[in-house]
Amino acid sequence: MPFIPHTEDDTREMLAAIGAPDLDALFDEIPADLLINSLDGVPAAMSEMEITRLMRRRAARDGAPLCFIGAGAYEHHIPQAVWDIATRGEFYSAYTPYQAEASQGTLQTIYEYQTMITELTGLDVSNASLYDGASALAEAALMAVRTNRKNKSGRILLAPGVNPTYEMVALAIAGSQGITFERVPMDGVTGNADMSFNDEEAPVALVIQQPAFPGTLEDVDRLTNWAHERGTLVIAIVNPISLALLKAPGHWGEDGADIACGEGQPLGVPLSSGGPYFGFMTCKHKHVRQMPGRIVGRTTDLDGEPGFTLTLQAREQHIRRSKATSNICTNQGLMVTAATIYMSLLGFEGLRQIALRSLQATTRLVAGLTTIDGVSRLFEGPHFHEVAVQLNRPVAPVLGALAARDILGGYDLSGSHPSFEDALLVCATETKTDADIDAYVAAVAEIFAEERGHSA
Partner 1 sequence: MSELPGDLLYTNDHEWLRREDDGSVTVGVTDHAQAALGDLVYVELPEVGLEVDIGGDMAVVESVKAASDVYAPIDGTITAINEELADDPERINADPYGDGWIVKLQPSGAIDESELLSPEAYQSLLDEEDA
First to last CA, the chain: 69
Nearer to partner 1 among residue 58 and residue 323 (C-beta): 323
Give the whole-angstrom CA distance, residue 292 versus residue 306.
25
Q: Which of 12, 53, 289, 452 binds partner 1 (CB under 8 A)?
A: 289
How many residues form the binding site for partner 1 (CB under 8 A)?
8
Q: Does 285 bind partner 1 (CB under 8 A)?
A: no
Nearer to partner 1 among residue 102 and residue 319 (C-beta): 319
Closest contact distance (angstroms) between CB of 320 and partner 1 is 5
Closest contact distance (angstroms) between CB of 104 and partner 1 is 20
Give the whole-angstrom CA distance, residue 161 versus residue 137.
14
Q: Is 319 helix (H, G, I), strand (E, B) or coil?
A: helix
Contact stretch for partner 1 (CB under 8 A) within 169-177, 213-221, 312-320, 425-433:
312-320
Nearer to partner 1 among residue 51 and residue 319 (C-beta): 319
Contacts of partner 1 in 316-335 (CB under 8 A): 319-320, 323
Nearer to partner 1 among residue 180 and residue 313 (C-beta): 313
Q: State the Cα torsion 113-115-121-127 to the nearest 10°.
A: 60
Give the whole-angstrom CA distance, residue 407 versus residue 427.
12
Q: Does 149 bind partner 1 (CB under 8 A)?
A: yes
Q: Which of 189, 314, 442, 449 binds partner 1 (CB under 8 A)?
A: 314
- Is there a contact between 428 and 455 (Cβ–Cβ < 8 Å)? no
Nearer to partner 1 among residue 30 and residue 302 (C-beta): 302
User: In 91-191, which ranges are E strands?
Assistant: 125-126, 155-158, 180-183
Closest contact distance (angstroms) between CB of 294 and partner 1 is 16
Closest contact distance (angstroms) between CB of 283 and partner 1 is 15
DSSP annotation string for 339-408: HHHHHHHHHHHHHHHHHHHHHHHHHHHHHHHTTSTTEEESS-S-BSSEEEEEESS-HHHHHHHHHHTTEE
β-pairing, 180-183 with 155-158? parallel
Nearer to partner 1 among residue 165 and residue 311 (C-beta): 311
Closest contact distance (angstroms) between CB of 323 and partner 1 is 7
Q: Which amino acid is at 348?
A: F
The neighbouring-strand residues paired with 260 are: 236, 282
Contacts of partner 1 in 102-131 (CB under 8 A): none
Contact stretch for partner 1 (CB under 8 A) within 117-125, 198-206, 249-257, 315-323:
315-323
Closest contact distance (angstroms) between CB of 333 and partner 1 is 24
Contacts of partner 1 in 208-237 (CB under 8 A): none
Q: Is 174 exposed, middle or buried (0-12, 13-18, 19+ CB in 10 A)?
A: buried
Closest contact distance (angstroms) between CB of 82 and partner 1 is 36
Residue 255: CB atoms within 10 A of its CB come to 14
Closest contact distance (angstroms) between CB of 325 and partner 1 is 10
Give the whole-angstrom CA distance, residue 169 versus residue 96.
24
Residues that bind partner 1 (CB under 8 A): 149-150, 289, 314-315, 319-320, 323
